[in-house]
């Protein structure tokens, strides 16, 4: 389960599918293995690296768990190339999915 995507790589549907599959595998492992989940919550970057996920130096990783009483809302950083018209569409309810690329690590939001 290794993910490494260069900022110069064309982000394809296969890349997105691979990342989604990797995320799903991590979540399934958390549900099946309480000790793994606790390691991921306590040391997200170290646990992800141990699972073959490339976490670039200088990137902090937070892992949070939703519960019946707690819902975590993640607000991604605003893309620097977001035009005012895109912002208007998003605030009107349009779905905007853009890749966030940080060095060799890509997350789709």
pLDDT (tens place) for every residue of the chain, 109 residues total: 444 544 444 456 677 777 788 889 999 999 999 999 999 999 999 999 999 888 888 999 999 999 999 999 988 887 777 666 666 666 665 554 554 444 444 444 3
pLDDT at 5: 45
Residues in the chain: 109
Judge whether 92 and 68 are in contact, CB under 8 Å.
Answer: no
Report the helix count and the strand count for the chain, using DSSP H and E: 4, 2
pLDDT at 33: 97
pTM of the model: 0.62
List Cβ neighbours of 36 (8 Å cut-off, separation of 6 or more). 29, 30, 47
């Amino acid at each position: 389960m290794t993910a490494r995507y260069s900022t110069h790589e064309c982000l394809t549907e296969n890349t997105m599918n691979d990342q989604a599959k990797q995320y799903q595998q991590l979540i399934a492992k958390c549900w099946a293995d309480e000790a793994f989940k606790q390691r991921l919550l306590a040391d997200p970057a170290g646990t992800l690296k141990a699972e073959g996920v490339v976490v670039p130096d200088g990137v902090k990783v937070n892992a949070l768990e939703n519960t019946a009483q707690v819902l975590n809302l993640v607000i991604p950083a605003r893309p620097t190339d977001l035009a005012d018209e895109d912002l208007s569409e998003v605030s009107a309810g349009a779905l905007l999915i853009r890749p966030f690329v940080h060095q060799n690590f890509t997350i789709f939001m």
